[in-house]
Amino acid sequence: MKVLVVDDEPIARRRMTRMLRAIPLIEVVGEARDGLEAVSKANELAPDLLVLDIEMPALDGVTLAQRVKPLPLVLFVTAHAEHAVEAFDVNAVDYLLKPVQQERLALAIDRARERLARKADGPLAATEGAGAQSAASEGAPRVVSRSNGVTRFFDAQQITRFWAKDKCTLFVVSGEEHFCDESLDTLEERLARVGFVRVHRAELVNAKRVRALHQRSGTTHIELDDGTQVPVARRALSAVKTALGL
């Protein structure tokens, strides 16, 4: 995978380049110190992935991603959590907060590889990509939570729902609430294959854990097997019913 690193801070660029080169099959084809230089180099080098800071002089990362055509995959790396919604509006692979940890970067790169495999053209490439992805993701996908220096891993299928609150993503396992680094958009894409469905802008639920669907007075709620009731947005109702086999 060819990667272009874009950051206005030289130390941050060098650190990211070192971290990326430690990941197998990654080729860092160049670096750019601002958004304008990044547009030029992206057109020249045709990277598969932009590793992109958001707050930069002249041209910020989100605007840059909107200008580069065709747009490679984008992985945002920033010190500013408040830009997450804007980042995923351009369909970013992931959104990492500085200082980035090697393990978290490797997870984001895995997601980028999966996206590239799905974009491969032709029936043969699609078949080979699907086989490789199936082999790589055999078993349930994991969800990572970090708190107070401890990194915990969870089987996604243990989780009933994810929800967004105050720009954070939360979930509960065994009665304990955890924070997840990933956005609902990223989780929705990654966990669709194991039955998760978006029921609301701020809610992603495990369809296998749905106990009942309540429809009354023009509103719809899902009842989960832990007793939680979650509202279903009107625009999501059709997809929800499909996921439930209705």
* Max Cα distance, the chain (Å): 58
User: Domain spanning 2-135: which CATH class is it, in words?
Assistant: alpha beta
Between CA 137 and CA 139 the distance in angstroms is 6
Q: How confident is the model at residue 218 (pLDDT cuts 50, 70, 90)?
A: confident
Please tell me what DSSP assigns to residue 246: -
Domains 2-135 and 142-243 share a fold: no
| pTM over the 0.75 mark | no
Is 124 a residue whose pLDDT tops 80? no
User: What pLDDT, on a 0 to 100 scale, did the predictor assign at position 174?
Assistant: 84
User: What pLDDT, on a 0 to 100 scale, did the predictor assign at position 136?
Assistant: 37
User: What pLDDT, on a 0 to 100 scale, did the predictor assign at position 30?
Assistant: 95
14 CB neighbour count, 10 Å cutoff = 13
Of 141-155, 202-216, 227-241, least confident by mean pLDDT is 141-155
Q: How confident is the model at residue 232 (pLDDT cuts 50, 70, 90)?
A: very high
The CATH number fitting domain 142-243, selected from 3.30.300.340, 2.40.50.1020, 2.40.40.20, 2.10.109.10 = 2.40.50.1020
Between CA 226 and CA 177 the distance in angstroms is 14
Beta bridge partners of 75: 51, 94
Helix or strand run (H / E) with residue 224 = strand 219-224
Question: What is the percent of the chain where pLDDT is above 70?
Answer: 83
Beta bridge partners of 168: 165
Is 122 a residue whose pLDDT tops 90? no
Between CA 246 and CA 241 the distance in angstroms is 5
Between CA 31 and CA 44 the distance in angstroms is 12
* Boundaries of every domain in the chain: 2-135, 142-243
pLDDT single digits (tens) 29-83:
999 998 888 888 988 999 999 998 877 766 666 777 777 777 788 888 887 665 5
Distances (CA, A) of 117 to 88, 124, 127: 20, 12, 10
Tokens read off for 163: 């929800």
- Are 93 and 117 spatial neighbours (Cβ–Cβ below 8 Å)? no
Q: What is the CA radius of gyration of the chain?
A: 19
Angle, CA 199 vertex, CA 197 and CA 203 arms, to 5°: 95
The two beta strands, 210-216 and 219-224, are: antiparallel
Tokens read off for 1: 């995978």
User: What pLDDT, on a 0 to 100 scale, did the predictor assign at position 37?
Assistant: 87
